[in-house]
Chain A
Amino acid sequence: MSSEQDHLKETDTEARFEFKKEQNAAVKSDKGLTEEVIRMISEDKDEPDWMLERRLRALQQYQNMPMPSGWPGMPDLSELDVEEIVPYIRPDVDKREGVDDWTELPDEIKDTFDKLGIPEAEKNALSGVGAQYESEVVYQNMQEQWEEKGVIFMNMDRAVQEHPDLVKEHFMTTCVPPSDNKFAALHGAVWSGGSFVYVPEGVTVEMPVQAYFRMNSEGMGQFEHTLIIAEEGSEVHYIEGCSAPKYGTHNLHSGGVEVFVGEDAHVQYSTVQNWSKNTFNLNTKRAIVEENGTMEWVSGSMGSKATMLYPCSILKGRGATDTHITIAFAGEGQDIDTGAKVYHNAPNTKSTIESKSISKDGGRTNYRGLVHIADGAENSSTAVECDALMFDNESTSDTMPYMEIEESKVDVAHEATVGKIGDEDIFYLQSRGLDDDDAKKMIVAGFIEPITEELPIEYAVELNRLIELEMEGSLG
C-alpha cells in the first residue's frame, strides 16, 4: 500500500473523495461545462455527428434553464456546483477500465464490500476491474442465448455505434427530452455508459437482465443512460445498480432512464442503489406505456446526501398499468426526496404506488408524488400508499401527494401512515430473546419486505444487509 493510501485512511470521508479526485484527474480537461468539454467526450467515444449535436443542444438547454427551486420542502442543492463536477467526467471516460487494482479502491468501499460479504471475484467485477471473472463469463453466456431471440443488451455507448436507428428514434426524444428539467438537460450533454435493452415483439426474457456489475466498468456511470425498448407482447425484467457505494470522486449522479413499453408488453425495472454520502443523486426516469402494457418500478434508494427521484409512467394506451414500489432510507445528514409520477392519459388505466421510507438520526425522507388523471381517462384507478417509519424524534418524514384529477369517472385512493418504531413491538420481540438492535432490524426487514419479495434473492439479501449496516451506522 502506498503512502498515499495510508494518507487516505487518516483523512475524513470528504477528504478521501477529494484525494481521489486529484488522482483521477491525471488526464484532465478544462474546468467548466463548455462546448469544448462536450466535444471531447463525444470524440473520445467516437460518436456519430448526430449524437454530438444532441449533446450540444442539450448543453444549450442546460445553460438556459434555472436550477429547480420553489418546491416546498425540496432538498438543499446549494452545495452542488456543477461547474466543479464536469472535469471529473473526462478522466472517467478516458480511463475505461476503472481502477487497475482492488487495493486502489477507497477503504470505505472495500469495507462495505467486506461487510456485505461479497466474494472477492464479485468485488472485482463490481468495482469495474477485469472482465475475466466468472460472473462476467456467465453474463456472456446468457447474452448469447438472448441474441438468438433477437434481444439486444449492450452498453449504451456501443448501442449508439451499432444500433443507430433504434437509438436515434428513442434516445431522449419523446420520453425524456433534455428540455424536461435542468438535470435531464445536463444528462443529455454529458451522459456516458449505461444500458441498452431491446426486446423484439413477442419475446419473453425469462431471466432478469442485470446491469449489476457493468455500471462501474463503464467509467463511473455517474451519468449513465438506460434505454429499454420492449416491443409488443414482449416481457423483460431489468435490474440495475450495484448496491455498493459507487467508486466515484463525483458528488453528482444524474442518470437517465427511458422505457418504452409496447402494447401488451410487460417491463419491470428494478434498482437497488447505495450512493456515497457526498453524492447528489438527481435523476430522471420515465416510461411510456402503450395499450394494455404494464410497467413496474421497484427501487431501493440508499445513501447519497440528497436524492431527488420520481420515476414516472405515462399511461398512454387504453388499459395500461403501472406499479411503483419504492423504499428510501435516510440517516444523519441525508435528505431523500423520492416518490412517483403517473399520468393517466387513456381510459381504463390503473396505477398502484407503494412507498416506504425509513429515517434515522435526523435524516429526512419525503414522499413526493403526482398522479394526474386526464379528462377522458374514464374508469381509471389509482391507489397510493405511503408508509414512513422513524427511529427517533430527530428524524423527519413528509408526504406530499399531489393528485390532479380531471375526470370524474375514476377511483382514487390515498393512504399514508407515519409512525415511530413501536416500543410495544420492540418489547414483544425482546421478550422473545432478540436484543434491542435485532428487534429493530427485524421490524425494518419486515417493513421493507414488499420490496425485497419483488427482487431476485441476491438483491433482496443485499438490500437487507445494506439496511442493517445503515442501522448500525457502520457504512461509510
Chain B
Amino acid sequence: MARLELRNLHAEVAEGDEKILDGVDLEVESGEIHALMGPNGSGKSTTAKVIAGHPAYEVTEGDVLIHLEEGEFGDDIEIDEDQRTWDLLDLEPNERAALGVFLGFQYPAEIEGVTMTNFLRTALNAKIEEREELFEDEETEEEEEDEGFETSPMEGPADEGEIGVAEFQGILQEKMEQLDMDEKFAQRYLNAGFSGGEKKQNEVLQAAILEPSVAVLDEIDSGLDIDRLQDVSNGINALRDEQGTGILQITHYQRILDYVEPDHVHVMLDGKIAKSGGPELAEELEDKGYDWVREEVYGTA
C-alpha cells in the first residue's frame, strides 16, 4: 500500500509571487478514490502539477511525500526500511513517475512523429531503469531474456532487462482491449490529432500501462460525451480494482462521480481544502454549488 501525502503545501507561480496553494493537506492511499472538487481558480490543477513537479510552480512551504511498502513494485525491487518514504519535492518529475506517481493531464501535449507504441515502451523502460537507480539494486533482472532481436531496428535493440517491442505489443494490445480502444491507436502519433475524448482515454491507457501507485487525474471528464465518459470511468475503476491504484480525481462536476464512486470528497477553496466528506458531499455540491461551503467555512458568501 502506497500513500501520497500533502502536508501544509504552499506554492506560487515560479516567475512572480502569485500565491496559489495556501496550505493543502491531503492523503491518498492506493486503492482509494478521492474526488477533489472546487470552483475554477481554486488551485486544483496547481495541486496536480506540483505533485508531478511542474517547473512553473515553486513550493514555498510544506511537503509532498510518498510512502511505499514492500512489494510495491513487484518482487524485483526490494524496498529497504529507509527508502520507504520519499519527499517528492527533492525529485525530478521522471523520478516521481518512477516512484509510482502519475499525472493525467487536462491538456496533454501533442508530440508529432512519436508513435504511441514507441513512446509508451520507452516510458515503461525508462521507469523500470529509474526505479533500479533509485533503489540502487544492482542485482535485479540479470537473468531477464534479452529481447533484442524482436525489437524494431528504429528503436534499437532492447537492453538487458528492458521490455522489447514484441513483448510490449502484447501488453499494449491487452490494455487497449480493456479500454475498448481501436488498435490503430498504437501507430498514431502521441495525442497528435486526437479528439478531446481520445486524449482523455489515452491518459487512462498510459496509467494502465505504467501502473502507478497513485494517479492524479486532472479534469479527465472534461469534454467527454456520455459514451466516452463511461469508457474513461471504466478505465479508472479498473486501475483501482485491478492494480490497486489510488486515485485523486480532480473534477468540476458530479457527473463522473456517478461512474467512479469516490471514497472521499474534498472541496478546495482559495488554495486549501475547505471541507472533506464522503460521496454525499459531492451530491450536496451538485445541488447547492460551492458558496454554501464558503459560507460554512469562512462565515461569508
Contacts and interface: CB of A to CB of B under 8 A. Distances in A.
State yes or no: do A and B come from one complex.
yes
B126 interface: yes
B111 A431 contact: no
Interface stretch (B49-57, B251-259, B284-292): B49-57
Interface in A417-456: 422-425, 427-436, 438-439, 442-443, 445-450, 452
A433 B123 contact: yes
28 contacts: A423-B56, A424-B109, A425-B111, A427-B53, A427-B54, A428-B108, A430-B97, A431-B94, A432-B123, A432-B206, A433-B97, A433-B98, A433-B123, A433-B130, A433-B210, A434-B122, A434-B123, A435-B130, A436-B92, A442-B111, A442-B122, A446-B111, A447-B113, A450-B113, A457-B153, A457-B154, A461-B153, A464-B154
A138 B108 CA distance: 48
B122 A438 contact: yes
A422 B191 CA distance: 15
A141 B109 CA distance: 48
A460 interface: yes
Interface string B188-216: 01100000000000000010001000000
Contacts of A442: 111, 114, 119, 122
Contacts of A449: 112-114
Contacts of B98: 433
Nearest to B124: A433
Nearest to B101: A431
- Among the interface residues A427, A431, A432, which one has the most CB atoms of the partner chain B within 10 A? A431
A191 B153 CA distance: 36
B111 A430 contact: no
Q: 9 closest A-B pairs (Cβ-Cβ)?
A: A446-B113, A449-B113, A433-B127, A428-B109, A430-B93, A446-B114, A433-B97, A432-B123, A433-B126
Contacts of B130: 433, 435
Interface in B72-110: 92-94, 96-98, 102-103, 105, 108-109
Nearest to B192: A446
A434 B154 contact: no
A432 B154 contact: no
Given A431-B93, A442-B114, A446-B112, A461 B55 contact: no
Contact of B92 (A430, A448, A450, A461): A430
A432 to B, nearest CB: 4
B144 to A, nearest CB: 19
A435 B156 contact: no
Interface residues of A, number: 30
B218 to A, nearest CB: 11
A435 B154 contact: no
Interface residues of B, number: 34
A56 to B, nearest CB: 48
Contacts of A458: 153
Given A436-B92, A446-B111, A461 B124 contact: no
- Among the interface residues B103, B109, B112, which one has the most CB atoms of the partner chain A within 10 A? B109
- Among the interface residues B127, B154, B156, B210, which one has the most CB atoms of the partner chain A within 10 A? B154
B126 A438 contact: yes
B97 A431 contact: yes
Given A432-B97, A433-B98, A446-B189, A460 B114 contact: no
A125 to B, nearest CB: 19
A435 B94 contact: yes
A464 B153 CA distance: 11
Contact of B109 (A425, A447, A452): A425
Contact of B52 (A422, A431, A434, A460): A431
A433 B126 CA distance: 6
Nearest to A464: B154
Nearest to A387: B112
A428 B105 contact: yes
B188 to A, nearest CB: 12
Contacts of A464: 154
A448 B113 contact: yes
A189 to B, nearest CB: 42
A434 B112 contact: no
B172 to A, nearest CB: 14
Contacts of B124: 433
A458 B111 CA distance: 24
Given A433-B94, A445-B113, 8 more contacts: A423-B55, A432-B97, A434-B126, A435-B126, A442-B122, A446-B111, A458-B153, A464-B154
Contact of A427 (B55, B114, B126, B206): B55
Contacts of B111: 425, 428-429, 442-443, 446
Contacts of A457: 153-154
A435 B92 contact: yes
Nearest to A434: B126
Contacts of A436: 92, 94
Interface in B148-206: 153-154, 156, 189-190, 206
A30 B153 CA distance: 49
Contact of A431 (B53, B56, B189): B53
A303 to B, nearest CB: 22
Contact of B93 (A427, A443, A461): A427
B124 to A, nearest CB: 7
A406 B119 CA distance: 46
